[in-house]
Amino acid sequence: MLDIINITVGYRRLPVLRELSLRIRENEFLGIIGPNGGGKSTLLRTICGILQPWNGKILLCGKDLASLAKKEIARKIGYVPQASSFAFPFSCEEVVLMGRYAHDGNRKRDYEVAKWAMGLTDTLALKERKINELSGGELQRVIIARALAQEPKILLLDEPTVHLDINHRVEIFKLLRELKSHGITIITVLHDLNLASEYSERVVVIKDGRILYDGLPLDIIDKEIIKRIYGIEVNIIKNPLSGLPLVLPR
């Protein structure tokens, strides 16, 4: 699905990712963790074409991302940033329809897909509401619906639960698991190690622009690895319901 091959990328003359390679399989749920400033968000921006690698390349379904038009990329990759703001009080339905800009302009089809995306994210009841009237959890679901309206094969999410309470965090990740069941590859950056453990099929650790660890949550969510990456002592116990690692700060 996605091959990231030896890329170096950064801002101005400052490199952030250094000779990074990563292969992502179709219909995978990949969690990306690591300390602030390590390059996680930069990686997502590079995958969706916002940033261009200085060296190396990214292959999307075997095609060099640099050779694809922006609209073609948008038909394959949806991106949910850390924060979204709107200068005008669009309705939620109008916001979701913005995700159709990469398609052919068939108005009937646009509204059908927007309805599907809002149904999947449980936002249909909000379609007439103004985007600036929503709670944090409602807003995040609408932004995910907008990305889904692109009909992507891959969904990138940059800390999708930041500033959300525990109920909304679980709600968003249950939604992501549901999206995966619809054949969408999920790649999400997150800081909550317990969410990474519980929902990710595979966890990648990025620090200082490089991948240090890549494997199953059972192997990566480990007290020695966490101490090495974050400089904090933790206890790890087995979640009694799922059997997966549960992180308890000391």
The fraction of the chain above a pLDDT of 70, given in percent, is 100
179-227 pLDDT per residue, tens: 999 999 999 999 999 999 999 999 999 999 999 999 999 999 999 999 9
| pLDDT at res. 68 | 94
Compute the mean pLDDT over every residue in the chain, rounded to the nearest whole number.
Answer: 93
Please check the confidence at residue 170 and state whether its pLDDT lies above 80. yes
Q: Which domains occur in the chain, in start order?
A: 1-76+185-250 (3.40.50.300)
Residue 118 pLDDT more than 80?
Answer: yes
pLDDT tens per residue, range 135-161: 888 898 999 999 999 999 999 999 988
Decide if 155 contacts 140 (C-beta within 8 A). Answer: no
Beta strand extents in the chain (DSSP E only): 2-11, 14-24, 29-33, 55-60, 63-64, 77-80, 154-158, 185-189, 202-207, 210-215, 234-238, 245-249
pLDDT at 163: 74
pLDDT digits (tens, 9 = 90+) for 31-41: 999 999 999 99
Q: What is the mean pLDDT of residues 51-64?
A: 95
pLDDT at 86 over 90: no
The per-residue pLDDT for 108 is 94
Q: How do residues 121-140 score in pLDDT, each as one tens digit?
A: 989 999 999 999 998 888 98
Name the strands in the sheet holding 202-207, side by side, starting at the edge strand that comes first in the sequence: 77-80, 154-158, 185-189, 29-33, 202-207, 210-215
pLDDT at residue 3, as a whole number? 97
Instruction: Provide the pLDDT for residue 172.
Output: 87
CB 4 within 8 A of CB 65: no
CA 229, chain centre distance (Å): 21
Average pLDDT over residues 57-68: 94
